[in-house]
Structure 1
Amino acid sequence: MRRRLALLAVATASLVLIAFLVPLAVLVRTLAAERATAAATTWAQSVATTAALGDPDTLDAAVRQAAGSSGLPITVFLPGNAFLGAPAPRGPGVELAARGRSITVETPAGREILVAVQGGTRGTMVVRAFVGTERLRQGVGWAWLVLGLIGLVLLAVGIVVADRLARSLIRPVGQVAEVSRRLARGDLDARVEPGGPAEIREVGTALNQLAARIRDLLAREREAVADLSHRLRTPVTVLRLEVDTMRDKGEAARVGQAVDSVERMVDQVIREARRFDRDRAAGCDAARVVGDRVAFWSALAEDQDRPLRLGLADGPITVGVSAPELAACVDLLLENVFAHTPDGTPFAVELAARPGGGARLVISDEGPGFAHPAPVDRGASGGSSTGLGLDIARRTAEDSGGRLLAGPSPSGGAEVVLELGPGPA
C-alpha cells in the first residue's frame, strides 16, 4: 500500500509538473528569441536612420559601429547591386523590403530583420540585421536546466510528503492487523491504540470493543462450565459414600477407582474452565499415563472376556499434553471400545515414540467398525452417544501439535490413531 501511494504521488506530481514546465519552457525559448530579435531590430533601425541622411561615409561608419557593438552581421543593400557592411545574399526578403516594406524573415539559419529606407535619390535602401539560431536560443539551455532541477526538487518533495502520508495511514492499519493476529492466537489482552484518520480510528475502536466482548463472553462461558462441573461434586460424593457401604471389598475397590476417575475429570474440567489460556509448556510421560489407564480398564476387559493386546514402548515418552488431559483422552477412546463393541471383542493398545518427538497411540478393535463415514466430526455418532469423544481427542492432539486419524482397522473393526506432539525440553 505504501508503495502504491508513493507511485500515485509520483504519477500525479509528474503530470502536474509536465503541464506546468513544458509551457514554461516554450515560453522561455520564445522570450529569448523575441529579445534577440528586438535587439537586432533596434540596431537595424539606428543604421536606417543614418542611411536616411544620404551621406555614404557616415553610413559606412554607422554600419561598422553597429556591427561591432551588437556582434551581428549588418548589411545595407544600396539601389542596384551595391551594398555596405557584411556580405549577404540578396534574397527574396530583401527584394520585398526594397519595395518599401520592413519585414522579418525566418530562415533555416536564423532570422533576417529587414528595414526599408526610402527617400534616397537612387531608390530604396534595405538595412539587414541577421540573428543566428544560437543567438535566438541564447540562455535557453540554462533556463531549461534550472526548470528541470526545480521539477526534480518538487517531485522529490512530493514523494517525501506522500511517503509520510502513506506511513501515517499504514502504521495504524498495520497495528490493527497485528492485534487481529494476536487475538486469533488467543491473546485476548491485545488492544489497538486508535490513530490515523477517523475511519481507521473507528476500526481500531470497534476491534477493541470486539476483543472485550469476546473476553467477557468467554469468561461467562468458562464460569458457567466451572459452575456446572462443581455441581457434579455432589453426586460424586454420594457415590463415594455408597462405595463405602458396599460389602464386597473387591467390587467396592473397583467402583471406587471409577469414582476417583470421575472426580479427577471433574477437577480437570474446573481447572481448565477457569484458565483462559492453555499452558503450552505442559507435558507428561505418555508411557506412564497410558499404562496406568490401560491397567484401570483391563479389569473391566477381564470381566467382559475381552482379549487385550498391549504394546507399550519403553518410557519415558514426553508429549505436549498434561497428564490429566492425556488420561481423559485415553479414557474416552477406551470407553468407545467398550461402549460400541459387544462383550468378548478383542482390542489392542499400542504406544510408540514418533521420530520427530512425541508419541503415536493406536487403539484398534475387531468390532463392527465405525457406523458414521466421518467419525471425527463433532457430534457425529452412529450409536446413542453424543459423538463428542473423538472430537475432544482430536482437539487434544492438535493442541499438542499432532493429529487424530480414525478409520477401519486391518481386521475390519475400528482404529483410532492419536499422534501427540513433543513436550517441553
Structure 2
Amino acid sequence: MRIGITSKLFVAISAACILVAVTMGVAVRWSFEQGFLGYLQRQSQSHSLRLQQELEAAWATHRSWDFVKDPVAAAAAIPEAIDAGVPPPGPSGPPDMNAPHDGPPPDGAPSGNGAEPGPPPGDAGAPPDMRDDLRSPGPQGSRHPPFRVYDTDMHNVLQKGPPPPPDAPRLPLTVDGKVIGWLVVAGPEVMFHSADRQFQAQQVRTTWLIAGFAALLAAGVAVVLARLLLAPVRRLVLATHRLASGDYSIRVPDAGSDELHDLAADFNRLAISLGNAERSRRNLIADISHELRTPLAVLRGELEAIEDGVRKPDRATLASLQAEVALLSQLIDDLYELSLADIGELSFEKVRLDVAPIVEAAAESFRDRLADKKIALETDIGAASVIMLGDPYRLTQLMKNLLENALRYTDSGGKVRVAVAKHEHEIQIDVQDTHPAVPEPLLPHLFDRLFRVDASRSRQSGGAGLGLALCKHIVGQHGGTIDALRSPLGGLWIAVRFATLEAKDD
C-alpha cells in the first residue's frame, strides 16, 4: 500500500508530540513523588529537631522523666508531642517505668539487660491492617511521624503512634553533655496517611489524564498541520502532472514568503519558460519550412519554365538560379552555425588584432551593393589602432551580417554610417542607417532567431532573420555587448562594445 506524504507527516508530528507528552507525564510524576517524599522528609527532620530540643529542655527543668506521667504537664512541656501518650504496662493503667524492655537498644546506648530497644509488646504482634490504622492521624489531626522516647535504661517513657521500624533514626537526648535518653523517630514513609495517599493517587491520575489529553490534542493538531502545510504541495503535485502532460498554461498561487512560495514562483517561471520554448519550437519549424520552401519554389519554377520552353537557359536565367541557390546555401549555413553555437562547438581562434581595418574592409566590400540601391556609405574609422583579442574571421562575419541587415532594410536614397572609436578601455563599433525605423517595442527582439519586423514574411523586405542572432553569439563569445537602439539618422542603430586588450590585461 502506498503511503502518502500527508500520512507520513501526520505520523511524524503526532508521534513527536505524543512522545513529548508521555515523557512530560512520566517526568512530572517522578518529580512529584520525589518532591513530595522530600517534603515529608524535611518536615520529619524539622519535627525531630524541635521534639529533641523540647524533650531536652523539659528534662532539664524536671531533672527526670516523671513529668510525662502527668498528661497536662507533658503537654505543657512538650507541645510537639501534644497527642503523645504514655504506654501502659498492660491492657490499661500507667506504665511501669522500671520494667525492663525487651527491644533492642539504640546504637551505642547502654541497656539494663544487654538488649536493644524494639517496638512495645502491644504493637509488635499487631496485624498489618491494624498497624496501618495506627498510622492514621490522631484525634487532634497530628501529621507528625510516630516516635518513641527511651530513658537511659531503655525503658519506654513516651510514645506516639505505632512503633518505629528497626532502622528508624535514633537521636541521643543530652543535657549538660550527659545522655539522658534516646529519641527514635519513624521515617516519613509512615506519614503517608489515607489523605496523603489519596492526594498522591489523585495527582498521578491527573498527570496521566493530562498526558492522554495532550496526546489527543497533538494528534488533532498534527492532522490540521499536515493538511495546512501540504495543501500547497498538493497543488504543486497536481500542477506538475498537468505540466508534464503538456498543459503549459497551468499556474499555482505563489502568495507568501516562505520556501513553498519560492517553489511555486519557480514552478510558474518554469511553466512560462516551457510554454515559450514550445512556441519557439513550433515557430522555428514553421519559419525554417517557410524559408526553405521559398527558394526551392523559385528554383522549381525556373526549372519548369526552362523545361516548358518558356525561358531559355541563358546567362540571366542561370544567374537567377544561382542567386536562389546562394540564398538557400546561406540559410543552411546560418542554421548550421547557430546549431553549433547552441552546443558550444562554434570555433573561435582569437589573436591580437586591430579591429579597425577589419571593419573598414567589410564596409568597403558593401559599397557597390549599397550604391546599386542608391544608399550612401559613410565611414568614420579613425587613424588610431584599436587593439583587441578576437577572431578575424568571426569579426568579419559579424560586420557583414550587420551591413547585410542595413542593406536589406534601408530604403533607397538612404544612408548607412559605420564608425569605430576607442574610449579608455572600450572599443565602440556603430552601424546606423536611415528610414524605416524599427518600432520601439520590437528592438529587444531583433536578435531572436527567425524574428523579422515584417510579420508578413515578405522576402522583398529581408532575409531569414538569422544574421542578427548569429551576431549576438559572436559578440558574446568575444566578451562584448550588442544592443539595438533608435538611430539619430531615423533608422536602426546597432551598437557593439568590446573590451580592449589593455583592459583584459589589467
Please indicate, yes or no, whether the TM-score normalized by the shorter chain is above 0.5.
Answer: no
**Rg bigger for which structure?**
2
The TM-score range, normalised by the shorter chain, is 0.3 to 0.5
